[in-house]
Amino acid sequence: MKINTINELLLCIMTTLSQTKEIFRRADAVCFDVDSTVIREEGIDELAKFCGVGDAVTEMTRKAMGGSVSFKTALTERLSIIRCSREQVNKLITDHPPQLTAGIKELVDTLHQHNVKVFLISGGFRCIVEHVATQLNIPLHHVYANRLKFYFNGEYAGFDETQPTAESNGKGKVISMLKEKHGFKNVVMIGDGATDLEACPPANAFIGFGGNVIRQQVKERSVWYVTSFGELLKELEKI
């Protein structure tokens, strides 16, 4: 492990609650996880239910989010069970659109008013996440998520394994790229799962979110853990 990586890790671990809040107030970019954070459900679980294989996939999601299996392994196994067609994905979005978590619209609007760049970094599927981004007025080029692949007849053909979000540490790779590309000094990652927590570093701060589901490992390791986006809005009022 490189010295600067070790120093970044120590900074993330040793950051106090007040320092984390200050980084959030001074953030030039805020990155949100999507499933069970920005939206109330896990997109892959909803897709599995829609395709009639909900129970088997929900258990795999719980293991992936808890960090007990690698994200890529869990994603591959879940999709091999679901094997959704393009038509099924489109019908899911039309019939059961993702439900925004209470307060997220106001929070994103407020961040935008403060000229903070907002990104969605998800281990879910781009076709669903883009729908969420549009609802929140987040530019589609600020969306990083996995791409499903389909054959010409619309049948499932796998997923794009080259996307960084398909990897366990993929969210951190995206944040590193964003910092290098845009020169961001203070990047905050907000999410409910293990893959979100692992993104700090390179994120300068992590805020655990338990408004939809509480993952004990994440709660215990978060310096700042919130169960409502209202808590973050209150912090922004101090600016």
| pLDDT per residue as tens, the chain (239 positions) | 444 454 555 555 567 888 888 899 999 999 999 999 999 988 888 889 888 888 877 777 666 655 567 778 888 888 888 888 999 999 998 888 889 999 999 999 999 999 999 999 998 889 889 999 999 999 999 999 999 999 999 999 888 888 888 877 889 999 999 998 999 999 999 999 888 888 888 999 999 999 898 888 888 888 899 999 998 988 887 77
Instruction: Identify whether 201 is preceded by a cis peptide bond (ω within 30 of 0).
Output: yes
Asked about 160 being catalytic, the answer comes back as no
Asked about 28 being catalytic, the answer comes back as no
Helix boundaries (H) for 39-113: 43-50, 54-66, 71-82, 86-95, 104-113
Q: How many distinct helices (H) and strands (E) make up the chain? A: 12, 8
The active-site residue out of 33, 45, 192, 196 is 33
The active-site residue out of 35, 45, 192, 196 is 35
Total-model pTM: 0.86
Give the largest CA-CA distance in the chain: 54
